[in-house]
Amino acid sequence: MNRNTSDVSIASLQEIIAYTESIVDTVREPFLVLDAELQVVTASRSFYRVFAVAAEQTIGRFVYDLGDGQWNIPELRKLLEEVLPEQKAFDDFEVSHDFPSIGHRVMLLNARKLWRPGNHSMFVLLAIEDVTERKRLSDELIRSNEELQAFAYVAAHDLRSPLNSGLALLQLLARQAAKKLGEADAAKLDIAITSFQRLGTLMEDILEYSTAANAPQRAAWVDLNEPLTAAIANLKHHIESARARIDFEKLPSVKADRAHLIIVFQNLLGNAIKYHGAEAPKIFVSAVRSGASWQVSVADNGQGFNPEYGTKIFEPFKRLHTDNIPGSGIGLATSKRIIERLGGKIWADSEEGVGSIFHFTLPAWDMGLGSSDRSDGL
């Protein structure tokens, strides 16, 4: 009777082992099951295939001895021997290694610790994902983007001089021939001058966009009221022409690049003025603490836009309004680059015909608001 019971138990255990191994074998990524001593109990079929090893070279061996010690990596040892006993898992540990049988590979390792209730023994599930090709494509994309940015900068920089010369000559011709040209010819000349001016603005915007991602960051403590005030001063003519009113609260101090923050405020305020509705623009700038960040908001009563386009407006050259409103569609894309380089994010909430609120975050440091008193409107 006892023998039969024992036979049944052994058969059941064998069935469980076979069932577990069949599950492991269906996993596409290489997979190891380690015991408490970090010796290999089970390996998936994909592990043998990817690393070109056999079961007799793997099962029962210490994980660091596999493949002539190719997994004997100090960082991995620390994770398996120090981190995993204290925690239940670790994720996306990157291993870049020259493997004897398959050459250079970049792997992501994920581990989970499991306890077997019966005898309180521990198992470690170690999943291995080959991301070599993904990493190569990502590196190529980054390099391609850097080359494209460099080309855009050089092209815009080199075109600026002949463009300005052409514009100056057209303006001189317009002044000298003002009384000699007929109405139709004068109109054509005006169109040519306007086109050159728009192209000049586009070149400047491309230069600004290109440098926003690569220019050195001159991080220092900045009272946000200061770059905001500078941006308002730069927009003085537009503010007066549109009869705009800008109010703002006492803003916090952050660690950032002052010049870049002026660009962000100038773009956001400039858009609020440019895309105003029937009423004169009313703009309010505020800031609130949100976790480990300051959230700055620029609200207006302008034309607004369909919320569906809330992310697209931050793409280069993306404009939602008609061409009768001047602009290159690069300002918001440049602002996005600047804010992301500073460790924040930027987004917009809007309702057509009501207005928009542009928000951006910046990391919060020890220096705070100090006061929430509202300043005088401009």
Question: For 264-269, what is the mean pLDDT?
Answer: 92
Percent of the chain whose predicted confidence (pLDDT) is above 90: 17
Judge whether 111 lies within some domain: yes
Coil vs helix vs strand at 71:
coil
Residue 192: how many CA atoms within 13 Å on its side-chain side? 17
Task: Please say whether the beta carbons of 61 and 43 come within 8 A.
Answer: no
Res 96: pLDDT: 79
24 vs 89, which has greater pLDDT? Answer: 89
The residue-averaged pLDDT of 20-46 equals: 77
End-of-domain residue from the set 215, 246, 271: 215
Residue among 215, 200, 142, 202 nearest 167 (CA): 200
Same domain, 357 and 234: yes
176 and 252 housed in the same domain: no
Statement: the pTM of the whole predicted model exceeds 0.85: no
Whether 186 and 266 share a structural domain: no
Is residue 135 in a domain? no
Model confidence at 144, pLDDT cuts 50, 70, 90, reads: low
Both 208 and 223 in one domain: the answer is: no
Residue 278: predicted pLDDT: 82
Condensed to tens digits (0 to 9), the pLDDT of residues 121-142 reads: 678 888 888 888 888 877 776 6
Flag whether pLDDT at 13 surpasses 70: no
Averaged pLDDT, 64-75:
79
Higher pLDDT, 297 or 275: 297
What is the C-alpha to C-alpha distance for residues 273 and 231, in angstroms, rounded to an integer? 13
Instruction: Convert the pLDDT of each residue in 284-335 to its tens digit.
Output: 999 999 888 999 999 999 888 877 776 778 876 555 555 555 545 678 888 8
Cβ(257)–Cβ(276) under 8 Å?
A: no
Q: Give the span between the Cα atoms of 268 and 244, in whole angstroms.
A: 14
Which CATH number is 183's domain given? 1.10.287
pLDDT band at 12 (very low <50, low <70, confident <90, very high): low
Confidence of residue 169 (pLDDT cuts 50, 70, 90): confident
Domain containing residue 31: 2-130
Residues with Cβ within 8 Å of residue 233, at least 6 apart in sequence: none
Which residues does residue 199 pair with via DSSP β-bridges, in sequence order?
none
* Distance in angstroms (rounded) separating the CA atoms of residues 36 and 115: 10
Domain termination residue (choose one: 215, 246, 261): 215
Residues 231, 210 within the same domain: no
What's the whole-number mean pLDDT along residues 170-198? Answer: 80
pLDDT at 253 (0 to 100)? 93
pLDDT (0 to 100) of residue 23: 62
Q: Which burial class, exposed, middle or buried, applies to 8 when counting CB atoms under 10 A from its CB (0-12, 13-18, 19+)?
A: exposed
Q: What is the mean pLDDT of residues 269-294?
A: 90
Residues 148 and 200 both lie in one domain: yes
Tell me whether residue 142 is exposed, middle or buried, using C-beta atoms within 10 angstroms of its C-beta: 0 to 12, 13 to 18, 19 or more: exposed
Number of domains in the chain: 3
Position 357 scores a pLDDT of 93
Do 89 and 175 share a structural domain?
A: no
CA 1, CA 133: separation in Å to the nearest integer?
Answer: 59
Q: Is residue 165 part of a domain?
A: yes
Please compute the mean of the pLDDT values over residues 76-90 and round it to a whole number: 79
Q: What average pLDDT does the chain have?
A: 77
Same domain, yes or no, for 371 and 243? yes
Q: What's the confidence (pLDDT) of residue 368?
A: 42
Contact status, residue 53 vs residue 65, Cβ threshold 8 Å: no
* Same structural domain, 240 and 148: no
Q: In this structure, are 227 and 368 located in the same domain?
A: yes
Q: What is the pLDDT of residues 334-374, one digit of tens each?
A: 889 889 988 899 999 988 888 899 999 999 865 444 433 44
Q: Within a domain: residue 137? A: no
